[in-house]
Amino acid sequence: MRVIAGSARRLPLKTLEGLETRPTQDIIKETLFNVIQMRVPGSRFLDLFSGSGAIGIEALSRGALEAYFVEQNRKAAAIIRENLEFTRLSDRGQIFSTDVMIALNRFEEKGIFDIIHMDPPYESGLEKNVLEYLSSSTIVGEDTLIIVEASKKTDLSYTEDLGYIIEKDKLYKHNRHLFLKRG
C-alpha cells in the first residue's frame, strides 16, 4: 500500500497484519480520489474508521489543509501516527483513538468539514449510526461531501429517508463508494 499522488507520492504505508483494518486497495483509492480530486485541495478532511490512515494521508498529500483520523483500535492509531510521521504530514493530521460516535460529538465545536470519509467494518451497521448522527450535525455544511465505503451487499437505501442526496454510487467488484450530500 502506498500514497498515490501529491507531496508524499509513492511512499509506502504500514498497515496492521491480517484483515482487521481491511486497507483500501490502491486501485480503489485511486478511483475514489479521481472522483473527488477537485474538492481535496484546501479542504478539511475527516477520516472515520481510519485503519492505517491511508485515505486521510492521501488527502493531505493531495493538498487538504488538515485531516482528522478517528480509529478506536490503538495499534492501528499508532500505525497512523507512524505513517503521518514517515510521510512528513503529521503537522496537518490529528489522531483520535476513540469510538467514532464519541469523536463526532467532540467535533461539534470544530466547525464544518468539507469531506467526511467513512470505512466502517463491513456488515456492522455502523455507517447507519454515523449517517443518522451527521444528518443533523453542525460539522456538516451544505457543501460537505460524505463518502461511505461499504460492502457491495450493504443496504444503503435508507439514505434518502435521512435527507441525503446521492451524488454518485460507484460500484466495484466487492464493495462500493456512496457519495452523499445533505439535502
**Rounded to an integer, what distance in angstroms lies between the CA atom of residue 54 and that of residue 16?**
12
What is this structure's pTM?
Answer: 0.94
**Rounded to an integer, what distance in angstroms lies between the CA atom of residue 92 and that of residue 61?**
10
C-alpha cell at 170: 460507484
Of the candidates 28, 94, 8, 83, the residue with the CA atom closest to the CA atom of residue 52: 83
Q: What pLDDT does residue 19 have?
A: 53
Residue partners of 129: CB distance under 8 A and separation at least 6: 101
Distances (CA, A) of 173 to 27, 60, 82, 152, 170: 12, 27, 31, 8, 10
Q: What pLDDT does residue 18 have?
A: 61
Per-residue pLDDT of the chain (183 residues; tens, 9 = 90+): 888 888 888 888 988 876 555 667 778 889 999 999 999 999 999 999 999 999 999 999 999 999 999 999 999 999 999 999 999 999 999 999 999 999 999 999 889 999 999 999 988 899 999 999 999 999 999 999 999 999 999 999 999 999 999 999 999 998 999 999 998
Q: What pLDDT does residue 11 have?
A: 83
CATH class of the domain whose range is 26-182: alpha beta
The helices-and-strands tally (H runs, E runs) of the chain is 5, 7
Q: What pLDDT does residue 28 have?
A: 86
How much is the CA Rg of the chain, to the nearest whole Å?
Answer: 15
Residue ranges of domains in the chain = 26-182
Distances (CA, A) of 100 to 5, 46, 48, 151: 28, 11, 7, 19
